[in-house]
Amino acid sequence: MTAKTPIPLDQLREQVGACHQCPLADGRTNVVFGEGDPEARVLIVGEAPGKNEDLQGRPFVGAAGKLLDDLLAVAGLAREDVFIANVLKCRPPGNRDPRPEEIELCTPYLREQTRTIDPEVIVTLGNFSTKFILKTEVGITRLHGHVQQAGRFKVFPIYHPAAALYDPTKRAALEDDFATLGELLGTRPRPEG
Ligand code: URA
């Protein structure tokens, strides 16, 4: 059996930009395809664009994005080193949770992005991306910080950075998990001792 040739990211971006498969398309200002290194070792998958992301057409540019940048630095990574995408490419109204039918219609795009980027590690941020990628009902509280496997990809679930904006006690767990990610990748020197 021969594997399907991955679709170039620019071509995928065009497809996603023209998507009207679900009603979220009617409310969007911009599609948020995702951005970063097309050959990244790490694909970061969030939930869905929020207000700022919808306005700018870029992922994680609001408060959670600022925190994500700081956490990436803990792993010894910069935004340009990774590729950042979301489960949904359009903003749900009022930032409500993604609906199952939206996830079903939108995630073939994420699947193609994953095949094209072919990362070493997929970092899933929060419950929605973790449950989708791992096909599990186990929650993020139990899974975060533990390497999992989905097909040929290593998956590393981490709390969604927005969780720390509502509950500052989550910040330490986020920093620990990003430090572990850096150790896994060899981008962060192991602490001495
Ligand atoms: N939260 C997400 O899950 N994704 C974004 O792009 C921004 C905030």
Q: Does some domain include residue 120?
A: yes
Q: Does some domain include residue 190?
A: no
Ligand 1 pocket: which of 47, 87, 133 to mutate (most atoms within 8 A of CB)? 47
Query: Domain holding 59: CATH number?
Result: 3.40.470.10
Q: Does some domain include residue 155?
A: yes
pTM of the model: 0.96
Ligand 1, CB cutoff 6 Å, lining residues: 32, 46-50, 53, 59-60, 64, 86, 162
Angle, alpha carbons 54-108-85 (nearest 5°): 40
Our count of domains for the chain comes to 1
Inter-residue contact 29 to 93 (CB < 8 Å): no
Q: Does some domain include residue 189?
A: no
Q: How far is the CA of 192 from the centre of ligand 1 (A)?
A: 34
Q: Does some domain include residue 19?
A: yes
Residue 140 burial (10 A CB sphere; 0-12, 13-18, 19+): buried
Q: Does some domain include residue 193?
A: no
If you ran DSSP here, which 8-state letter would residue 81 be given?
G
Q: Does some domain include residue 127?
A: yes
CA R_g for the chain: 16
Q: Which residue has the tokens 């590729």?
A: 83
pLDDT in tens, 37-81: 999 999 999 999 999 999 999 999 999 999 999 999 999 999 999
Ligand 1 pocket: which of 24, 53, 88, 103 to mutate (most atoms within 8 A of CB)? 53
Q: Is the dihedral of CA 110, 111, 113, 118 positive or negative?
A: positive
d(CA 80, CA 97): 28
pLDDT in tens, 126-184: 999 999 999 999 999 999 999 999 999 999 999 999 999 999 999 999 999 999 999 99
Q: How far is the CA of 28 from the centre of ligand 1 (A)?
A: 14
Domain that holds residue 143: 9-184
Q: Does some domain include residue 69?
A: yes
